[in-house]
Amino acid sequence: MSVVRGLLDKYGLAPKKGFGQNFLVNAAIPERIAACSREFAPGDRPSGVLEIGPGVGALTQYLAREYDRVVCVEIDRGLIPLLGEALAEYGNVTVVEADFMELDLPAFIGERFGDLIEAGGSVSVCANLPYYITTPVIMKLVEGFPANEPLPFAAFTVMVQLEVARRLAAPAGSADYGSISASLALRCRTEKLFDVAPGNFLPAPKVSSAVVGIVPHGGIREVYPDAPADPEALLRFGTRVGDMIGLAFGQRRKTLVNALSGQYPKEKTAEALRSCGLREDIRGEKLSAEDFCHLADLLGR
Ligand code: SAM
């Protein structure tokens, strides 16, 4: 019997589908995820990690060995006593019972890691994400912070469905490229690290999974150096680019000129596309994050 099954049985629990509970049962996987996560964090500074959904602590215990401080957010009240036992030997772990989606994230990071950040430390995010909210969680991590500043994280190392991993890391124009690929590329570089087969989980999900490394870069001005330098103007610019990506992929079968026509006159968009060196009949799915910035810049003037 696996350690995970033993722990669940002891507390009279079963994995809850509604919370996306697919627990890792092959210890080699969480060990590898924690090691990958740590590689993204600077090695010479105090380090903290936020884990979303510790479950029965399979990943948490490896994070506790890699990081100075681990803060976990778990929605399932029933798992809290179990986690207390499973993680008793790690003095650097705090488990918070909360719905991650309801957290005021900047305030939470300040509360839990503010002292570590002030001491020059880094904060990472690591999780085997519940699949029912993968994209909202990732967008909250990215869009929960002002677009005119680099994100305050060293990296997000997260396990997601394989199909989502492909979308997150997809280059412009590829079959998997979508709104989330473009939005994420504005703030981060994303790579798929390794695949994980269903048999490594309890219960086994229907689909394969993959671990991705999402590393924040310098922000919009790194993607598009002509973006406004003034912080307020940059914030407005970021919103405009985000809205444009939303419109472009909201109606991805339409040409970009048509998809944006509610917001920008068609002739103006066609002219801006020509100035960007792009075809007038192009669809949004062909534009990189940089192209969207360039277009927003031309159309915003
Ligand atoms: N980390 C564990 C592992 O790898 O075995 C569990 C991963 S399981 C896929 C997802 C975990 O996220 C579950 O423990 C689930 O209860 C928790 N969870 C689901 N929704 C959540 C939310 N909104 N906020 C915090 N935790 C959540």
Give the per-residue pLDDT at 1: 57
- Is 93's C-beta closer than 6 angstroms to any atom of ligand 1? no
* b/e burial code for range 139-152 (CB count within 10 A of at least 16 → b): ebbbbebebbebbe
pLDDT in tens, the chain (301 residues): 588 999 999 999 999 999 999 999 999 999 999 999 999 999 999 999 999 999 999 999 999 999 999 999 999 999 999 999 999 999 999 999 999 999 999 999 999 999 999 999 999 999 999 999 999 999 999 999 999 988 999 999 999 999 999 999 999 999 999 999 999 999 999 999 999 999 999 999 999 999 999 999 999 999 999 999 999 999 999 999 999 999 999 987 899 999 999 999 999 999 999 999 999 999 999 999 999 999 999 998 5
Residue 188 CA to residue 98 CA, distance in Å, equals: 27
Give the per-residue pLDDT at 252: 76
Atom of ligand 1 nearest to the CA of 76: 16
Looking at the DSSP bridge assignments, the partners of residue 23 are 202
Residue 259 CA to residue 44 CA, distance in Å, equals: 48
Dihedral angle computed from the Cα positions of residues 201, 127, 53 and 209, in that order, rounded to the nearest 10 degrees: -30
- Is 170's C-beta closer than 6 angstroms to any atom of ligand 1? no
CB 234 within 8 A of CB 222: no
DSSP sequence for 98-136 = S-GGGS-HHHHHHHHHHHHHHTT-EEEEEEE--GGGHHH
> Tokens 């890699």 correspond to what residue?
66
Residue 164 CA to residue 170 CA, distance in Å, equals: 10
In the chain, the amino acid numbered 15 is P
Give the per-residue pLDDT at 301: 56
- Is 97's C-beta closer than 6 angstroms to any atom of ligand 1? no
Nearest to 278 by CA among 174, 172, 139: 172
- Is 80's C-beta closer than 6 angstroms to any atom of ligand 1? no
Nearest to 211 by CA among 125, 124, 137, 127: 127
DSSP sequence for 201-260 = EESPPSS-EEEEEEEE-S-HHHH-TTS-SSHHHHHHHHHHHHHHHHHHHHTTTS-HHHHT
Residue 74 CA to residue 96 CA, distance in Å, equals: 6
- Tokens matching residue 38: 């740590």
| CA–centroid distance, residue 76 to ligand 1 (Å) | 8
Looking at the DSSP bridge assignments, the partners of residue 158 are 127, 212
Give the per-residue pLDDT at 251: 83
- Is 158's C-beta closer than 6 angstroms to any atom of ligand 1? no
Give the per-residue pLDDT at 253: 84
Give the per-residue pLDDT at 300: 87
